[in-house]
Amino acid sequence: MSKEKYLIVSFAGDNYNVWEFRLKSILRDNGAIEAIEKEDFSKSTDNKQLEAKAQAIIIAATADSHLEYLKDRSAYQMIKSMEDSFKEKGTRSKLFIRRELSDMKFDERKPLMEHFIDLEKLFAQLGDAGSELSEEEKVNYLLLSMPKSYEGIITALETVEELKLDFVKNRLLGEEEKRNRGVTKSVESSIFSCYGCGRPGHKKFQWRSTQQARLKTGDWSLQGRGCSNWKYNGGRDDSKANHRQTQGRGRGKSFLTGTENTEDSGKWGF
């Protein structure tokens, strides 16, 4: 089978466990998995074709810089050579991976899914090193990796008995999506400009709602999301009279007509 069909990433010294998992899947699909599982497989003439296929797949999936590990070896010996050199195992590797898991923190500038993938890689590496994590341990590592801004959702999750990793991931992704919607809404709001005063972040109807509340209650100190550059005109609900330029005199343009105001009165040409 061609390299292009399987999109094999050439092994160059990193993430051996992931590479080996993919390689075994491809060998199995080609009926050549026994070539790397049985030490004497290559000695039988009946296996000559499968042995050649297994070797070709392994070589195609290895970077030029690491071909020295494969030369003059059977398929079984090729994998054994790679395992001895790159597969993480032993107490030292276990401690190193656990330390890396403990130190891992989610960077909120990146997608949360990327953080999940990085954690899963370490979980897999720890398993390959001979130390399988329980579901509870995986959940704990994930929750400990979240920043303080997620403390609310984490506190809520801690009240649930027997947390499952997939459930926790879905809840955290939901929280991320909710936050992203809030940011988008805020950005969209800042794009619009009031056609009354021309300032961004609100629309004219929001100014009128605030003004009407002031007129109804008589409380002229009420603040709203709308225009802040209006003047009290004796109680008349007159938007034209209330919209005045409050930051000094000068020339300006009407936000309705686009014509330039040439008067030196400080008004906005309504």
**The pLDDT of residue 247:** 43
Is residue 266 in a domain? no
Sign of the alpha-carbon dihedral angle for 203, 209, 212, 218:
negative
8 Å CB contact between 204 and 195: yes
Of 58-62, 73-77, 186-190, 201-205, the least confident: 186-190
Rounded to whole angstroms, the Cα distance separating 171 from 160 reads: 12
Containing domain of residue 9, as a range?
3-86
How many domains does the structure of the chain reveal?
3
24/77 same-domain check: yes
Residue 224's pLDDT band (cuts 50, 70, 90) = low
Q: Is the pLDDT of residue 206 over 80?
A: no
Is residue 161 in a domain? yes
Is residue 197 in a domain? no
173/222 same-domain check: no
Sign of the alpha-carbon dihedral angle for 151, 156, 162, 168:
negative
95/76 same-domain check: no
- Quote the pTM value: 0.49
Is residue 236 in a domain? yes
Of 86, 117, 142, the position where a domain reaches its end is: 86
| pLDDT tens digits, 93-103 | 888 899 999 99
Rounded to whole angstroms, the Cα distance separating 169 from 177 reads: 12
78/107 same-domain check: no
- Length reported for the chain: 270
> Mean pLDDT across the stretch 116-123?
94
Place of tokens 């070797």: 55
79/151 same-domain check: no
- Number of alpha carbons in the 13 Å side-chain half-sphere of residue 133: 22
**The pLDDT of residue 84:** 87
Among candidate residues 233, 225, 192, the one with its CA nearest the CA of residue 207 = 225
**The pLDDT of residue 128:** 76
**The pLDDT of residue 241:** 42
